[in-house]
Structure 1
Amino acid sequence: MKSTTSAATVKEVRKLFAQFGLPHQLVTDNGPQFVSNEFEAFLKSNGVKHVLSAPYHPATNGQAERLVQSFKQSMRASENSDGNVEKKVAQFLLAYRAAPHCVTNETPAKLFLGRELRTRLDLLKPDIQSVMSTKLLSQSGNMTETRQVDGKVWVRDYRGADKWVPGQVTAQHGERHYDVDVVNGQCRRHIDQLRSREEHNISLQIEPDLPERCAAPTRDSNHASVSCGETSSLEPVLQPTPRRLKQDNPGPPDRLNLYLGNI
């Protein structure tokens, strides 16, 4: 902060409230920007209890003072290391938020975010979550269809007149995305936009997986119209059951007509 006036302090505190929500209690020292009427009115309007520490007794706000002490020790220890001040501050904050607290036995990140932060130490142990996600997807059948690298496929094309063009898979990204070489360059496609050449004989002028158009309906000897795929046997045609009229449905019982009032 370039200024420590009450207006500037309220502006910065409002940003924190908008990002993390309104706290139940705020502990500060007796600085002039904290005891001003403007700052007190701001906290009161947001339902935040303001607690002032005793003058000349910084131990009242011991948690903040302990954090300042840890930060100063970290900065002194990193004087001979490479990097600017912003990099050293970021490294300290990551290490502090990922370390368990001596009182709660939990990390500040776990208490605040509900999860642990990922650090470089996590590279030394397997990622159990990703392994479990892969196994669950394979068991559910969502990963049964794949494309092999260097495999020949039909590629959905959005740049030319032909909707499907031949291509060859060059690389796989994740579980569903592939890099494919086509005639006019390279593109990335989802697995839903690829078809195997061995399984699908796709004409370049028609869409794949579409049913063939039926021929014109024929008529049997009794001049009865016969649709595509049906035989000319004189089987009785089942008429669809008519829907109930609107008046046949009395609607929900009166006991469900509750008056909720203004919420």
Structure 2
Amino acid sequence: MRLHLDFAEPVKGKSLLVLVDSCSKLVDAAFLQPCTASVLVEHLKIVSRLLGVPETIVTDNDPQFTSSEFAEFCAEFAIVHLRSSHYCPQSNGQAEKTVDTLKRAMESPDQRSLDAAVAAYDDTPNQALDWKTPTEVFSGRQLRLQFATLRSELAFIPAAAEKFKENYDIHHGTSSFVAGEEVLVGLNNRRRVPGIFVERVGAAMANVEVEGEILRRHIDQFWNRRVFALPQAESDDEYPLPSFAYEKT
């Protein structure tokens, strides 16, 4: 099991921790007060008793996740701790997007409202899961939850979701790279340079060779050279890195 963890910005002074199972998309969330490393570790021990001990935990670089207490917890339970890449928040994107979804669904900033939002999320069919619910995929069977008794027949349009993915792939370039393929890779100074794809490392990371040096980057920091017709930059081997930031509304 691979868990993604993220803290939301405080809601009415309360720190919100969100956990997402990478495979089933199952979500759990709780308000932690105080928001310290020791409180976080105790909460994760409870989660581990209910869901099982994860093999991998993915987080950002918040102080609670870089603390010695959290490192000791991971060592005690033989958990691999991965931190998100610098300049690439997509490394922990599952948890970050879920945080936004739950905050919008909550009617009030309390645990009861949060529990209702989590229950609705986990009992909602997901296109990425072939229209099964996260609860069904995680448990291997369809549990009878509160929202299952209220949910009516839904008319899904898988083709529309597939079209969205297709448009993203065309815009961003394919992520199905093979060893030895020529790619463009984003650097930490927001430049992208030519490189040679080496290998995938896990589900979201990959190694690339740039000027004889092996670098590790998130897969979304790679671009297929055949997809983009790039303008010539000041040098022969560097190109400006395009911005994919979303405008705030």
Same fold (TM over 0.5): no
Give the number of the structure whose residues are more often strand, by fraction. Answer: 2
Structure possessing the higher radius of gyration over alpha carbons = 1
Output the TM-score relative to the length of structure 1.
0.40
Give the TM-score normalised by the residue count of structure 2: 0.42
Larger RCO, structure (CA 8 Å, separation 6 or more): 2
